[in-house]
Structure 1
Amino acid sequence: MRVARELARRFAENAVERDRLGGTPKAERDALRDSGLLRMSIPRAYGGYGANWQETLEVVRVLARVDGSIAHLFSFQHLMLATVRLFSRPDQWEPWYEHTARRNWFWGNALNPLDERLVATPQDGWHEFSGIKSFCSGALDSEMLIVSARSRDTSAMLIAALPTQRSGVKTLQDWDNIGQRQTDSGSVTFEKVRVEDDEILADPGPLSSPFACLRPLIGQLCLIAIYLGIVEGAFDEARRYTRTEARPWFRSGVERVEHDPYVLLRYGEFWLALESGRALFERAVDALDAAWRKGEALDHAERGELALAIAAAKAVVSRGGLDLCTRMFEVAGARATHSALALDRYWRNLRTHTLHDPLDYKLREMGEWALVGTYPEPSFYS
């Protein structure tokens, strides 16, 4: 945590400028490599720090308070490592873990199950991947990629781990969205890329057991950790600006803004939303750590309970966070909209990222549980 806080302090110094520039945060990614934090969730037996999910996602929150993009890249590193652990054999994931710990590899994402334009054609002992993938967070400046492709023969989804520098792989700098501007979430093209059979994560394979079905839940908690950190950062900025720069409205009858009853009302609402989100997030992370420790002994009902806890946390953090990041200007005042402050980046980052998958479907899943007792059906988004 000491290392994470020092990195966050450094990243905060030019976060506004980098938000304007977009593109790849190369210096910041290299700082993460040098810090050793890329291996924190890898067990000690393979050269990592053996951090649990509570510890790993706390670092995500610390980084997200100052830079949602860097937190995004960091969290996806550990999501990709969890993916190879859950979907592949020990003789596959153990060497990948060891190499990652020793060489400070960054892992990028080219999985995106809803984008089926990448096709895998079986050959004699290998597959040829050709096509394109979108929303490939962290692919640029990575050493390894997690990639999904649709089998030409069976239409089944194949997931592979392969070097980013493999011949035929090209990462594109086509990410230019309003928020999360340095997540390198553009496209990756694959032109007749050779993927060996032992690079395919087929045993036990995607979503093949309650334990393997933890992967999407880890992904959802990574998102929530980013959201919560962004909202905590927005609250801290709003509070600082309100106390040092804002002025009471002339009709308030008070001399100091912190005595304005309507300003206090807003901060009470903000604090309630934050505390609710924190409590639900921490409950969900504790449940994830317990499920992770169970391993293959995890059953369907335990996985279902965790999915509900995560869905509840996501709904509360997303809704409360978007409200806070919008209404923070009501308590900071008109001067807080000055472009040099870029306080709008909190809303832009949160709004962009909370569109990852529709919140309404999470609420429907919780409604099905509340009314008829049905657990969410495992998928790559639930």
Structure 2
Amino acid sequence: MSPSATNISESFIAPPIKSASHQTTAYESSDSSVYKPHHEAFASEGLPSSAASWSQRAHEVSRILARDAAARDHANKSPVAEVSLLKSSGLLKILGPVEYGGGGQSWEIGYKAIREVAKGDGSIGMLLGYHLLWSKTADIVGTDEQKDRFQRLIIENNYFVGGAVNPRDSDLIIQEDGNKLIFNGSKHFNTGGVISDLTVLEGVLAGTENHIFAIVPTSQPGFEFAHNWNNIGLRLSESGSVKINNVAVPWSDALGWDAAAKIPSPDVLSIPFATLLLPTIQLVFSNFYLGIAQGSLEFARGYTTTSTRAWPYGGDNKQSATDEFYILERYGNFHAHLLAAEALTDRAGVAISDIFVAHGKDRDVSARTRGEVAELVASAKIVTTDTSLKVTAGVFEVTGSRATGSKVGLDRFWRDVRVHSLHDPVAYKNRELGRFYLLDEVPEPTWYT
């Protein structure tokens, strides 16, 4: 018997999650009740109503997360509580349409919120960034009807969205079954999937070269999470592997497809507009790299001013570490580079926002315009990668040996950046940008450009 397609508009209850051995297993998750006072406060305040108030809300969430970030990093529990905080704060809705209860903000503001949350906890900043990208997938590759339907579903229900779309793995295979599509396959990485309400799937229709995106409820038997994320950094991002077993999707939920004719809609899945998903998420990366680095410097500043001791054998001895030349020099250098990285990243954020405003309705963007934006994003990716690695490693030079204690947790910033900056080699971004500058060639869209 073939599986029946899930009606995504129906409510659903999460079943027990199964491990790779198919045995029901309890995995330790953080407790949402620890944030009860904050949930109540956010509910009382309601959603922010301006760009400035959204930035302040992101700052409040970052401050809450920063208080025990090192302890939560060590505990490595599934971030149920942390995602509940993102939900009650309203940050999951920041880009959503106002008519459905969203914040109505642009990507420019969304990126800054990601960055701010990442200052307090890189994993949760990453989860917010991925959610915002996946929650807008239908806006970029869906029909107008799908765009409206899925935005309403996500925003009105305050859903958290994950994505099983790791391009380096084999594509999920999609089989037709009457008015349904059946997805099968596996992905080594599925960020946030375990604690998501919805998941974006992507695969290739069997016998064709056609790729199809679909948004489906995560809480169904066809999702088999391995619970195997135990890397050195971004430990609360739940980026482990998942198997997709006979997940059925109505043809009407195939994003950007004509369900009756069962063909891609050429005016929706147009190149290059549909490929704007890629520079959009690349800039998500840059923003949480930058946020993590900024958070590391703020954390280090607090440690240096309260705990770092002056070096007594330098020949120009000072009473306080904050008077030492090399410490002042390092802080000045780190601060300058972060300001420069922030300016470039903000410029790219404006460019992404502008291209969606200018072309979001007609979906008619030239390869040149798309390419220029992608290369501005690539520039930000290069600079934020280099700068964040430099700063998160260098802060130990200005805090001292005692700052390497596991209870201090200063190492988490470097570990977080180091893990994700290997996502796609920045060397290829340098080469790509070199061809653009030297030869005036805009890049061909790929899964990473």
Give me the TM-score of the superposition, normalised by structure 2.
Answer: 0.82
Matched, 1:143 2:206: no
Matched, 1:341 2:341: no
- 1:261 equivalent in structure 2: 325
Task: Output the CA distance in 1 between the equivalents of 2:394 and 2:161.
Answer: 36
- 1:214 equivalent in structure 2: 276
Task: Output the CA distance in 2 between the equivalents of 1:292 and 1:237.
Answer: 36
* 8 Å CA contact retained: 2:256, 2:269: no
Alignment of 1:281-300 (within 5 A): 281-295=345-359, 296-300=363-367
- 1:48 equivalent in structure 2: 102
- 2:443 equivalent in structure 1: 376
Farther off after superposition, 141-150 or 58-67: 141-150
- 2:305 equivalent in structure 1: 243
Task: Output the CA distance in 1 between the equivalents of 2:227 and 2:253.
Answer: 26
Shift of 1:366: 0.7
What code does the residue aligned with 1:173 have?
A: H
Distance of aligned partners of 1:13 and 1:268 in 2 relative to their CA distance in 1, 3 Å threshold = closer
What code does the residue aligned with 1:245 have?
A: S
RMSD, aligned α-carbons: 1.7
SS at match of 1:146: strand
Alignment of 1:13-162 (within 5 A): 13-116=67-170, 118-162=172-216
Shift of 1:117: 5.3
Shift of 1:344: 0.4
Matched, 1:233 2:295: yes
Shift of 1:252: 4.5
* 8 Å CA contact retained: 1:136, 1:185: yes
Distance of aligned partners of 1:373 and 1:252 in 2 relative to their CA distance in 1, 3 Å threshold = farther
* Unmatched runs of 5 consecutive residues or more in structure 1: none
Matched, 1:9 2:60: no
- Cα deviation, 1:194-235, whole Å, max 9, x if unaligned, reads 122112123458963332221111101111110010000011
- 2:424 equivalent in structure 1: 357
- 2:338 equivalent in structure 1: 274
Query: How many residues end up aligned between the 2 structures?
Result: 382
Task: Output the CA distance in 2 between the equivalents of 1:134 and 1:208.
Answer: 29
Farther off after superposition, 293-302 or 318-327: 293-302
Matched, 1:321 2:388: yes
* 8 Å CA contact retained: 1:23, 1:184: no
* 8 Å CA contact retained: 1:119, 1:152: yes
- Cα deviation, 1:143-191, whole Å, max 9, x if unaligned, reads 1110112333124332211111234222331111110011111122111
SS at match of 1:213: helix
Task: Output the CA distance in 1 between the equivalents of 2:314 and 2:74.
Answer: 37
SS at match of 1:161: strand
Task: Output the CA distance in 2 between the equivalents of 1:11 and 1:267.
Answer: 24
Farther off after superposition, 3-12 or 180-189: 3-12
What code does the residue aligned with 1:32 have?
A: L
Distance of aligned partners of 1:52 and 1:252 in 2 relative to their CA distance in 1, 3 Å threshold = farther
Shift of 1:28: 1.3
Farther off after superposition, 146-155 or 327-336: 146-155
What code does the residue aligned with 2:326 have?
A: Y
Task: Output the CA distance in 1 between the equivalents of 2:272 and 2:297.
Answer: 37
* 8 Å CA contact retained: 2:135, 2:154: no
* 8 Å CA contact retained: 2:174, 2:205: yes
Task: Output the CA distance in 1 between the equivalents of 2:85 and 2:326.
Answer: 43
SS at match of 2:147: helix
Distance of aligned partners of 1:130 and 1:354 in 2 relative to their CA distance in 1, 3 Å threshold = same
* 8 Å CA contact retained: 1:69, 1:181: yes
Shift of 1:17: 1.4
* 8 Å CA contact retained: 1:224, 1:281: yes
What code does the residue aligned with 1:311 have?
A: A
Farther off after superposition, 148-157 or 309-318: 148-157
Farther off after superposition, 221-230 or 85-94: 85-94
Task: Output the CA distance in 1 between the equivalents of 2:61 and 2:352.
Answer: 26
Identity %: 35
Farther off after superposition, 12-21 or 218-227: 12-21
Farther off after superposition, 196-205 or 13-22: 196-205
* Unmatched runs of 5 consecutive residues or more in structure 2: 1-54, 258-264
Give me the TM-score of the superposition, normalised by structure 1.
Answer: 0.95
Matched, 1:193 2:247: yes
